[in-house]
Amino acid sequence: MIHFKSYLKGLKSLVSIRSPALALACSFIALGALFKQAGFNLQQSLASSFFTYALPGQLVMTESFLIGVSVINIFLSVWLVNFRLYPMTVALVPVLKHKSQPRWKYYLSCHFIAVSSWLIVKDEYKKIDKKFRIDFWMGIGSGTLAAAVFSTYLGYSVSDYLNQGMMIGLAMVNPVYFLCMMIGAMADAKTRIAIVSGIILGPLFYLVSPEWSILLAGGIGGTLAFLIKGKNGTI
């Protein structure tokens, strides 16, 4: 059974000033408008947001569909773009796991993994009794998923009134929010190392290989932070 007090606490966290829900909603409004302009019907658009729930992957899917890429290649492209969610899940589940909780909660809650909501839980989980952390996470996750699906519907419905500049502006809200959250997390030394390394290495790698620059900068920056942590043990 779900511990509704913790679940509702997770839902209520979405109305705080640090909530990811509003930024996420803005980006999914733009996505819903894009779906309509790309020729998807409403059911397909809502299904994409409900079952995929990963904005970058959905954008790749839409762009690939428009240029006639095969289904297999679309699947592989979306899978690679969303691969970032695997290490996030691996890092989050041990924090939430408690022997008294049934496994179905963890399997279900993996679908709620998103960068913005993951950052909220990372900051808040110590305030929640470990036994009920999974319920707290399910409150956040189900709330942000519902916001994404509803915003997709809203964007699809008002797409005729959005020009390209407005859509780009809405789509950029979530990345900007994520950047602000990361800056706020820089009190942690290993996070500072990872972020600063990525900022420095990203443009450098872009000059060499634009296609791989983000992956290389993130991988090297994160690995460097991990190695320094392992060496010093206190970061």
Q: What is the pLDDT of residue 14?
A: 82
Instruction: For residues 172 and 63, state if they share a domain.
Output: yes
Domain boundary among 178, 197, 216: 178
Instruction: For residues 133 and 53, state if they share a domain.
Output: yes
Instruction: For residues 123 and 196, state if they share a domain.
Output: no
Instruction: For residues 107 and 143, state if they share a domain.
Output: yes
Q: For the chain, how many structural domains are there in total?
A: 2
Q: How far apart are CA 199 and CA 76, in angstroms?
A: 28
Instruction: For residues 101 and 212, state if they share a domain.
Output: no
Instruction: For residues 220 and 157, state if they share a domain.
Output: no
Signed CA dihedral, 10, 16, 175, 165: sign only: positive
Cα separations in angstroms, 168 against 89, 144, 151: 29, 21, 15
Domain boundary among 178, 195, 224: 178
Are the C-beta atoms of residues 144 and 24 closer than 8 Å to each other? yes
Instruction: For residues 169 and 194, state if they share a domain.
Output: no
Instruction: For residues 218 and 110, state if they share a domain.
Output: no
Q: How far apart are CA 128 and CA 136, in angstroms?
A: 8
Domain extent for 233 = 186-235
Q: What is the pLDDT of residue 182?
A: 66
Q: What is the pLDDT of residue 233?
A: 43
Specify burial of residue 45 (Cβ count, 10 A radius: 0-12, 13-18, 19+).
Answer: buried
pLDDT tens sequence for the chain (235 residues): 888 898 998 888 888 766 777 888 888 999 999 999 899 999 999 999 999 998 888 988 998 888 888 989 989 988 888 888 888 888 888 888 898 999 999 999 889 988 777 777 877 888 889 899 999 999 989 999 999 999 999 999 999 888 878 887 887 777 777 776 666 666 667 777 888 888 899 899 989 888 788 788 888 988 888 887 655 444 4
Q: What is the pLDDT of residue 86?
A: 86
Instruction: For residues 69 and 135, state if they share a domain.
Output: yes
Instruction: For residues 103 and 140, state if they share a domain.
Output: yes
pTM: 0.78
Six-digit token string for 167: 């859509």
Instruction: For residues 101 and 195, state if they share a domain.
Output: no
Domain boundary among 178, 201, 219: 178
Q: How far apart are CA 151 and CA 26, in angstroms?
A: 7
Q: What is the pLDDT of residue 21?
A: 78
Task: Count the neighbouring beta carbons within 10 Å of the beta carbon of residue 219.
Answer: 13
